[in-house]
Every structure is written in structure tokens, then in C-alpha cells.
Structure 1
Amino acid sequence: MDFPAEQLQTFKAVIDAGTLERAARQLNITASAVSQRLKALEKRSGSVLFIRSRPIRTTGSGDVLLRLAREIQMLSTEAHRALGLDPTTDQVSRRTDLSIAVNADSLASWFAPVLDGLAAQDVMNCEILRHDQSHSTELLRSGQVMGAVTTKSTPVQGCSSVYLGTMRYRAMASPGFVDRWLAGADPETELALAPMVSFDRSDDLQRALRRRIVGGRAPEPPVEHFVPDSRVYVAAVAASLGWGMIPEIQDPRDGSLVCINQAWTSEVRLYWQRWKVPSHALDLLTGLVLDAAWTAGLRPER
């Protein structure tokens, strides 16, 4: 069974826009026409494809067709470019639209050269979604992104996976904070009581280290602050808000932070997963990501 391209692209437009009305304006058709195309696509697929929330969300079946719609649009754009055709419709862009997921610490450290490479090319529009590296494969699976920096080595179905390298984190704090909370007389008890800084509520680096060192002896959770910005996070630890796990690559090395204990480290292995579909733009982007990671010295196994 074939799915009409017009229906697929309308479905994609609705998911990207978040509402039927906004998608209708972008497609220059009525909201009623959008609704009719979606009903026809659902009837053809025999599945409910989306949930009418704000923004509209895909179902599991919708994820499958969303990915198909993105693949078709990407391949169509690249076919036009390869044939030297000048796109004349809104459905075919001059550039390939690519969306990728990258974790905050990577964005704040080794990923910057990728942006230089993007600025030097004229083949893609790239949307970067900041997403936790432990869960970014969910976006690949749903078709929301075509590539992702992730901790998952096993490729999502229809994707390839390559090892980028390892980000090493060290438990660090300001010298003043160490003097007050972590002087070293009883490291385990001190760590159990010391305030800590986490990125957000899904960030388990600090808690995992605390569990490893303290075990179940802590009487109660310590004060925990949340700072959801990688650069400001480092500044918050340097300001003595608490101790935190700092990527080696983000260590300011100016004396504002000191290592609490040389053994209190964690390593996060990173992988680049991308769709397997043949795409010049996706190949180019993959090369930029790999070069940036390797140039930053993430200790790749080459």
C-alpha cells in the first residue's frame, strides 16, 4: 500500500506546526482540507496517528509515518539538487531540512566546530534539539530527528551507530566549598551531607556518585539545586552553590574549581546514531560531528 505524498507532507506539517490551523496557514490551504487529508491518511493506515493535544503529538503508528514523510521530503530535495532542478514549490526546499538531538554538555563543549561547518555549507537547514543523551534515541525512533548524540550503542532500527568518544566527569567544587563541606576528615559522611548541583531532575550523575560512595548510610537526601544550562552550571559550582560532576573538557583550570577526590569520576560513552537513508546532507553532517568529537580529544577508539 502506498501513502500519498500530499497526505504524508500534510501530516508532517501538522506535527511540526503543532496545530492544524498553523499547518493550514503554512500550506496555504484551509484547516478543513488539512483535517480531510489527515482523516484519509488514518483511514488508509488503519490507525490513529496523532493525539489532539497542544501541541499535537504522534501515536506509535504516527511515528512510523512521520519518519516516512521526513525521509521522502529529504530524498526529494536531494534528488532535485542532484538533477540541477530549481525547486519552485513550497513542498520542495532548496536545502535539506535536518533535525538532530544533542545533549547540553556536548553543545557547551566539543560541538561548536560543527556550527562552523554548517555555516560553510549550502545544502541543509539544521535544527538542533537539546535533549538528554540517555533518551535521545526516542526522538530517532519517533522520526522527530535524523541523527542524535546518545549513550546508546545499539542502533535504533533503520539507523547506524558509531562511537564518538568518552566524556569524563570529575566531582569538583570551589576551594571555599571544599573547606566548609568536604575537608576530608570523613569523606563519605561529608559527601552525604554536602549540597550538590544537578543539571535537572533527570540528571543522575551526582546522585549515582553519591550512591556509589555513601551507599545507604545517608540519613536523608542533601540540599540539591538544579541549574539547566551547562555553562551556568559550571559557574554555579564555582560560586559554591554545591559540588557537581564537571566534564573535564569544561574544567576552567583557573583555580575556581578543584577536584574533590581523584577517584570520584564518571565516564559517559557517546555515540552518533543517524538514519541509514542515503543522503549527502546527512553524510556531511555526520562527518562534521565525528571530526568535532575527535578533534576535541574524546578518546575515540580509532
Structure 2
Amino acid sequence: MIDYPAFEAVFAIDQEGSFERAARRLGVTPSAISHRVRSLEERIGAIVLVRGSPCRATEAGRRICRHMERLRLIEADLAATDPAAVGGGGPRRATVRIVVNSDSLATWLMPALATIAGRPDRLLDIAIEDQDHARDWLERGETDAAVTASPKPAAACDVHPLGALRYRATASPDFVAAHFPGGVTREALAKAPCLVFNRKDALQDRWMDDRFAARLQPPSHRLPSTTGFVEASLSGIGWGLNPEPLVAGHLASGALVELVPGTPVDTDLYWQVSRSTAFLLEDLTRAIRAAARAALFQTT
């Protein structure tokens, strides 16, 4: 039988970061919440929380937290159709955890998220991850939905094609004049500083491979910010693959130029959602698919 008071304690501590704040949230004493957690750990033979500042759930604890998150979603769904079933106070807010890439968040995704965040029974927990690696979160059971670059479904997930986000290899005119005086060649690219989001970012490599069939290793600035990428390009810090929606105006004005005109990189995106909770996230799935149809390149 599930010890829900103990599960509630683990969930609250992981969200609040300390036993004291979790105790205030649940309306109990810190000693009471500590007893619940200690009893649970003794019963299951595993540590569920890393005590620290802040406290965080272990792998065993994260499974408990995921269960509680899904329970909140079920309560919210029930309250929408049968408010009396959850009592006069209504359901507790449900947190929807999704994993998205930073470029989608900065370009087309926010209107879809706004439709969900506007619901009184929902909160968002958004994790940023490269689209090539977001599927791993689903495989590990750390999220119920993600924007990924993989059409291959994660275990027990449904896949919805969204369209393609287009990127342009861009830099400032002064940067191009300084680093590519004789044109954009393999030799010049190997020396010109480029921008990368983080170690997982392979877009620049993909563009160089597509254009020049070469695996070059230019000096790279790491900059984990979509808008920062654009600003760095405008400032002449380096060249990089920027989402077309964010640089179209700069290209039109001449503040940025395309390194090799007419050589975009299209990244196909997919919405993957766990079948176990898909029915609870139908409104989010509809909103994301609608936003993608309006903003992304549709290949079919």
C-alpha cells in the first residue's frame, strides 16, 4: 500500500528544497516530515533524498516525485469534469514538466505554453535540453513530454511531427570582412571563431559538413543563450547558426549577412508524449501542434 503522506513529504521537499519549507507547505512540523521520510527510506531500503542545501531527490525519490506529479494531473482532470469529487477546495495545482530546446522556446513555442499556463490548475516546469538529446529524458522517465529532433518514439511514447525550424549561418559584415576576405573557404572556416550553444550543439558542424564535406574544428565560443547567440553575432564575436525568425530582420537590414547565401539548415522537430499521460496533456499537445503549424516549415 502506498504511503501517500510520505510520498507527499518527499515531493514537497524536492520542490521546496528544504525540510523546513516543505513542512510549512504541508502544515506539519519539520520533525513530523523528517519522520515520514525516514520511515519511508527504512521501509523501501533506499535513500530518497540527498540532504543538503538545497535538498534534492535521488533516483528513487525522483520516481516518487514523478508519481505525485502524475497524480496531480489526474486530480486536475477529474476536477474539470467532476469538481465535487475533489472537494469544495478544488484540486491542488498540477505541474506539467516538459523538455524543450532553447531555440523553440525563443521563437515559436511560448504562445502554446501560454494557453496552458493560463489555466488555474496548471503550473509549468520547463527544462531546457538540446533537441538531439531531449528524447533521453523520456527514456529515463524524467518527463512526460518533450520537443525532440528524433522521429523514433521513446519507450511507450507517441510522436507528432511538428515541422522544421530553419537556421541561417550568420555573422556581422565586419566579421566576414576580417575573417573571410577571400570568401568562405575550408581554410578560413578552420580559423574563424564560431559560436556554439554548449558541448552538445552540433549545428555548426552539420552546416560545415553539408557545405564543405569537412569536419573542421574552428575556435569556438560557448554561449548557452539563444538571444545571446544573435547578440554575439551582431557584435562580431563569432559566426553561428541562428534561427531564421530571430535574424530575418537583421539580414534584411544588413546588420547580419549569411556566410553562404541560400544555405539554410532545417531541423525537423517532433512532439513526443508518454502514452500513460497523453490523455491528460491533450490540450497542451493541441496547442503545441497548432503553434508549430503556424510558425515552422511544413514539409508535408
| Fold-level similarity (TM above 0.5) | yes
What's the secondary structure of 1:35's corresponding residue? Answer: helix
Tell me which residue corresponds to 1:199: 197
- Map 1:107-146 to 2 at 5 A: 107-118=105-116, 121-141=119-139, 144-146=142-144
5+ residue gaps, structure 1, are none
Tell me which residue corresponds to 1:243: 239
Tell me which residue corresponds to 2:54: 55
- Map 1:6-85 to 2 at 5 A: 6-85=5-84
Tell me which residue corresponds to 1:160: 158
Post-superposition offset of 1:3 = 1.6
Measured in 2, the distance between the counterparts of 1:297 and 1:268 equals: 10
Write the deviation string for residues 146-172 of structure 1: whole angstroms up to 9, x where unpaired: 322122333333432222222232322
Measured in 2, the distance between the counterparts of 1:144 and 1:187 equals: 43
Measured in 1, the distance between the counterparts of 2:133 and 2:278 equals: 25
5+ residue gaps, structure 2, are none
Write the deviation string for residues 237-267 of structure 1: whole angstroms up to 9, x where unpaired: 1221111011223223322222212475433
Equivalent position amino acid for 2:44 in 1? S
What's the secondary structure of 1:256's corresponding residue? Answer: coil
> Considering only aligned residues, what root-mean-square deviation do their CA atoms show, in Å?
2.9
Tell me which residue corresponds to 1:269: 268
Equivalent position amino acid for 2:189 in 1? L
Measured in 2, the distance between the counterparts of 1:300 and 1:9 equals: 46
Q: State whether residues 171 and 259 of structure 1, in contact with CA within 8 Å, keep that contact through their aligned partners in structure 2.
A: yes
What's the secondary structure of 1:127's corresponding residue? Answer: strand
Equivalent position amino acid for 1:246 in 2? N
Post-superposition offset of 1:222 = 4.0
Measured in 2, the distance between the counterparts of 1:41 and 1:200 equals: 39
Tell me which residue corresponds to 2:223: 227
Specify which structure has the higher proportion of helix: 2
Q: State whether residues 163 and 272 of structure 1, in contact with CA within 8 Å, keep that contact through their aligned partners in structure 2.
A: yes
Q: State whether residues 171 and 236 of structure 2, in contact with CA within 8 Å, keep that contact through their aligned partners in structure 1.
A: yes
Post-superposition offset of 1:223 = 3.8
Alignment equivalent of 1:149, drawn from 143, 147, 152: 147
**45-54 vs 162-171, which moves further:** 45-54
What's the secondary structure of 1:62's corresponding residue? Answer: helix
**167-176 vs 98-107, which moves further:** 167-176
Measured in 2, the distance between the counterparts of 1:168 and 1:17 equals: 39
Measured in 2, the distance between the counterparts of 1:121 and 1:73 equals: 14
Tell me which residue corresponds to 1:180: 178
Q: 1:89 to 1:21 in 2, by over 3 A?
A: farther
Measured in 2, the distance between the counterparts of 1:44 and 1:153 equals: 41
Equivalent position amino acid for 2:226 in 1? S
- Map 1:279-298 to 2 at 5 A: 282-298=281-297
Equivalent position amino acid for 1:151 in 2? A
User: What fraction of aligned residue pairs are identical, expressed as a percent?
Assistant: 31
Post-superposition offset of 1:281 = 5.3
TM-score (norm: length of structure 1): 0.83
**204-213 vs 105-114, which moves further:** 204-213
Q: State whether residues 46 and 60 of structure 2, in contact with CA within 8 Å, keep that contact through their aligned partners in structure 1.
A: yes
Measured in 1, the distance between the counterparts of 2:113 and 2:227 equals: 18
Q: State whether residues 164 and 300 of structure 1, in contact with CA within 8 Å, keep that contact through their aligned partners in structure 2.
A: no
Q: 1:183 to 1:210 in 2, by over 3 A?
A: same
Alignment equivalent of 1:96, drawn from 94, 97, 111: 94
Q: 1:206 to 1:100 in 2, by over 3 A?
A: same
- Number of aligned residues: 295
Q: 1:240 to 1:54 in 2, by over 3 A?
A: same
